[in-house]
């Protein structure tokens, strides 16, 4: 098994940079509201619910509406830039989307998110296909714990 590789700060910036450009490319307009939502998500380091994004986004853009947060998340999700995180206690928070075969490590206290690579589940996947008769399209691997800061 390869050594687990946890994404660096720099890799996170690369993950979240260029979101506004991507929106513009798709013909969407760049507005103060969208900028606010994108900025909050790109800088958070934790998963955030629509209400949290709304609250934090209003600091930079006072007139931001919760409805616009929902609508912006919808577009960012369509473009594969953000995604929901699923947790035992709720599945309504968003994070910058996973790239390729990454997986997640989540802090149960503060919601902090780490992205990692380093497993290889393709062998297990093939074995399961053989034994079950399923055609497997996708998988999730997530670890839950408490981050260093929260301990």
Alpha-carbon distances of 122 from 15, 65, 125, 128, rounded to whole Å: 24, 43, 5, 10
Among the listed residues 66, 97, 105, 110, the single contact to its own copies using CB under 8 A = 105
Among the listed residues 12, 79, 97, 128, the single contact to its own copies using CB under 8 A = 128
Q: Which is nearer to its own copies, 49 or 108 (CB)?
A: 108
- 30 counts as binding DNA under rule CB under 7 A: yes
Among the listed residues 4, 24, 51, 59, the single contact to its own copies using CB under 8 A = 4
- 146 counts as binding its own copies under rule CB under 8 A: yes
The single-letter DSSP state of residue 1 is: -
- 56 counts as binding DNA under rule CB under 7 A: no
The CB-of-119 to its own copies minimum distance in angstroms stands at 6
- 33 counts as binding DNA under rule CB under 7 A: yes
Round to whole Å and give the CA distance between 40 and 37. Answer: 5
Contacts of 128 (CB under 8 A, 6+ apart): 134, 136
Round to whole Å and give the CA distance between 115 and 141. Answer: 11
Single out the residue of 47, 51, 40, 16 nearest to residue 112, CA to CA. Answer: 47
Contacts of 16 (CB under 8 A, 6+ apart): 38, 41, 42, 43, 96
- 108 counts as binding its own copies under rule CB under 8 A: yes
- 112 counts as binding DNA under rule CB under 7 A: no
Among the listed residues 63, 132, 137, 151, the single contact to DNA using CB under 7 A = 63
Tokens 């981050």 locate to 147
- 140 counts as binding its own copies under rule CB under 8 A: yes
Residues in contact with DNA by CB under 7 A are 24, 27-34, 49-51, 61, 63-68, 70-72, 74, 92
């Amino acid at each position: 098994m390869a050594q687990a590789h946890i994404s660096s700060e720099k890799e996170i910036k690369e993950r979240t940079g260029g979101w506004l450009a991507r929106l513009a490319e798709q013909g969407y307009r760049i507005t103060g509201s969208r900028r606010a939502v994108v900025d909050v998500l790109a800088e958070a380091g934790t998963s955030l619910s629509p209400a949290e994004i709304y609250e934090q986004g209003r600091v930079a853009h006072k007139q931001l509406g919760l409805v616009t947060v929902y609508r912006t998340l919808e577009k960012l999700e369509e473009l594969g830039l953000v995604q929901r995180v699923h947790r035992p206690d709720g599945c309504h928070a968003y994070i910058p989307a996973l790239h390729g075969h990454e997986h997640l490590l989540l802090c149960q206290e503060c919601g902090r998110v780490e992205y990692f690579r380093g497993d290889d589940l393709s062998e297990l996947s093939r074995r399961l296909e053989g034994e079950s008769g399923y055609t497997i399209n996708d998988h999730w691997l997530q670890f839950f714990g408490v981050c260093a800061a929260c301990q």
